[in-house]
Chains A and B, each alone.
Chain A
Amino acid sequence: MSTSDTISAVSAASDAPVAVWSQIDANNAKVLLNGNVNVYSLGGVWTQIRDSQDAWLKQGDSKSKSLTFDASKVTFLDGAGIAFLIGLEEAQTTSGAKFDVLGLDARYEPLLNEFNPISNLFPVPVVKPKRSFVVSTGMAAQNLIDDAVGLISFTGHLVADLAWSIRYPNQVRWGDFVNAAVQAGIAALPIVGLVAFLIGVILSFQAAIGMQQFGAVSFVGPLAALGIVREMGPLITAILLAGRSSAAFAAEIGTMTVNSEVDALVSGGLSPIRFLVVPRVLAGILVAPILTLFADIVSIFSSMLTMLIYGIPFVNFYNGMLSAVDIEDIGSGLIKATLFGVVVSAVGCLRGMQTGNGAAAVGISATRAVVSSIVLIVVVDGIFAFISYKTGF
């Protein structure tokens, strides 16, 4: 059902206009109200009468003009009717003209008196001064610095509290850890599996099309497997974790921040990082490498299936893979995945704790969590690539 249906349904009772403008002579005019004057029946009529009033006030000297608001035929007047009266009165008084009310039932007077003086209802619009380029650039820079300081400070606290969790493992909230691990890990298996499978297929096809021209299709297996284990597996998993879990952590902790639950922890002498962040980061550390290993296996399997189309049997693929991929490559991928897990879960928690007020702020935090996670994943990946190049690991 459309909104217009509702409007016609609720305003159908009033066919005749509830207010009529009539100009008696050059200086006198009247607004005659009739029947049930309410927020629906005034639609359109209000504008017509205000237009007539403005046109009339502009002719000649407005100070000698007088408008009568005749409410003697009103059966019911609601708050909108009173606002209509106030609107007409304000237009009269600002141009120095007179305004009289006739026949208004005494019962509306207490309500009308609530709005005295009516000038309060017509505030002068405040135009916000535009920020200069220098000021807005400065503020943007300040925000960046504040964000960096926040990140560094949070990292410091997190490292300290992770060290504490190793020292006092009994005090870690393992229930929260298990919940977060199940949500971020087991629940993510289907989507990680699907994406990993498709990435394996796409990677092998693309490589095979190019390699076929040089008669080197048999090298696709080792190439794809190496790419998956060292780069694609950890990266896909981390990006999916950023989209799923980082956003979930930010939204969950963000809602707690909005509801003052985080304040309640602080005022109760508990560290929100120890209480909320540590279990989630530990869960991230656990699930990221496991999910990555799962993604590696699924991707390599889908790559094997794809290469069957090009006549490479499983055994040949497997032997080729063994010649190219060694345990160090897998280890390197898993270490990277663990770092990604820390980054993704910590950033999600950080953004959640930085949430402002209201429902919109939770949405902003979740968005910032995903964006920051992905940026940091790429940064960490770049640093890792450089270290690998230098050390040969």
Chain B
Amino acid sequence: MDMPNKPSIQFPNKSPFAIDVQNLTVGYGSNVLMQNLNFSVNYGEIFVILGGSGCGKSSLLKNLFGLYQPLAGDVLIEGQNITSAVGAQRQKIMTSFGVMYQQGALFGSMNLLDNVTLFMQEYTQLTQTQMDLLARCKLDLVGLLPYESYMPSEISGGMQKRAAIARAMALDPKILFLDEPSAGLDPITSADLDSTIQDLSKNLGITFVIVSHELASIYAIADKVIMLDKDAKGIIAEGDPKVLRDTSKDPRVHQFFNRIMSKDAA
């Protein structure tokens, strides 16, 4: 997808890629999910990871942001290797990105505003009033401003997801990892969310790494996608989703993008 409006934003840490994945092997113990992955994500790009259920998309995402240790290989975030980083260096890398988990993972004992301000309290020197204003801005971006004093258990699953995106954006990270952000949202909210993601990417140069199945959303926002396959244990397609849909010769990719049932494909 051609993005002529993308500004070139200067970041203090100069590295050619926002995320650079080198020979990454993802798995648990002897169970290898993905082997020898190599790809990179540019600054300000909306990068989508695709693949069938259970192929290891979420596991790959957790390896990218350092929650799980990969079986082999390295992940460089803005040129810094998160796989081998320890202590202060690791924590510094960790504050440069935000994560939204699949189920929201909001802290149940705090209301939405407190969920968003939590990381600010730990990492910034802002006052409570300033943090509250900042958190309200984030909640407004995801359409949850009227719900700031609600507890996570008092709102719907879709709202919890949106609140989790607001929390991931709390420290205005340069990279956001979103695990299935629009799954379970109504089409209007989902479109609003897509538009917010595009605005943030275009105007603030935020890099997005998104795991998603929602084809409509992928066509609307993705600059680049990679498609993973369980049997191939690796990337089977890479590029612009619309181009892949129209031109890919790989039956697995064609089937995915054109929503063809597995028995019809066979």
Chain A interface (Cβ < 8 Å from any Cβ of B): 1, 3, 5-7, 9-10, 13, 36, 38-40, 42-44, 46-47, 75-76, 78-80, 82-84, 86-87, 107-108, 110-111, 114-115, 120-123, 356-361
Return A167 CB to nearest CB of chain B, in Å: 39
Q: Can you name 25 A-B residue pairings with CB atoms under 8 Å?
A: A6-B88, A6-B123, A7-B123, A7-B124, A7-B125, A39-B126, A43-B124, A75-B10, A79-B169, A79-B204, A80-B172, A83-B137, A87-B133, A107-B7, A107-B203, A111-B200, A111-B203, A114-B141, A121-B136, A121-B140, A122-B133, A357-B154, A359-B108, A359-B109, A361-B153
Contact at B137–A121, with CB atoms within 8 Å? yes
The distance in angstroms between the C-alpha atoms of A9 and B125, with both chains bound, is 13
Given A6-B88, A10-B92, A79-B169, are A43 and B199 also a contact pair (CB < 8 Å)?
no
Q: Are B130 and A83 interface neighbours, CB within 8 A?
A: yes
Contact A86 B133 (CB under 8 A): yes
* Total interface residues in chain B, CB < 8 Å: 43
Is B126 a contact partner of A42 (Cβ separation < 8 A)?
yes
Name the CB-closest residue of A to B172: A78
Asked if A44 contacts B125 (CB within 8 A), the reply is: yes
The verdict on A6 contacting B204 (CB below 8 Å), with A76-B10, A78-B172, A358-B108 known, is no
With the chains together, A36 CA to B11 CA distance in Å?
9
Chain A residues with CB under 8 Å of B88's CB are: 1, 5-6, 9
Docked-complex contact A79 and B172, CB < 8 angstroms: yes
State whether A3 and B122 are in contact (beta carbons under 8 Å apart), knowing that A83-B133, A359-B108, A359-B109 are contacts in the complex.
yes
Closest to A5 in B: B88
In this assembly, does B91 line the interface, its C-beta being within 8 Å of a C-beta of chain A? yes
Partner of A357, one of B87, B122, B153, B169: B153
Instruction: Give Cα A43–Cα B10 distance, bound, in whole angstroms.
Output: 21
Q: Are B203 and A108 in contact (CB under 8 A)?
A: yes
**Most chain-A CB neighbours within 10 Å: which of B88, B152, B172?**
B172
Nearest to B95 among chain A residues (CB) is: A10
Contact pattern, B 148-167, Cβ under 8 Å of A = 1, otherwise 0 = 10011110000000000000
Would you call A1 and B153 a contact (CB within 8 A)?
no
Closest chain B residue to A14, Cβ basis = B12
List, in ascending order, chain A residues with CB within 8 A of B123's CB.
3, 6-7, 10, 39-40
Query: Does chain A have a CB within 8 A of B9?
Result: yes
In contact, B145 and A47 (Cβ under 8 angstroms): no
A19 to chain B, nearest CB (A): 13
Other than A46-B127, A47-B127, A83-B137, give 17 A-B pairs with Cβ distance below 8 A. Answer: A6-B88, A6-B95, A13-B12, A39-B120, A39-B134, A76-B11, A76-B205, A79-B169, A79-B204, A84-B130, A107-B203, A110-B203, A111-B203, A357-B108, A358-B152, A360-B108, A361-B153
Residues of B within 8 A of A44 (CB): 125
Contact mask for chain B residues 135-149; partner A; CB cutoff 8 A; 1 contact, 0 none: 011101100010010
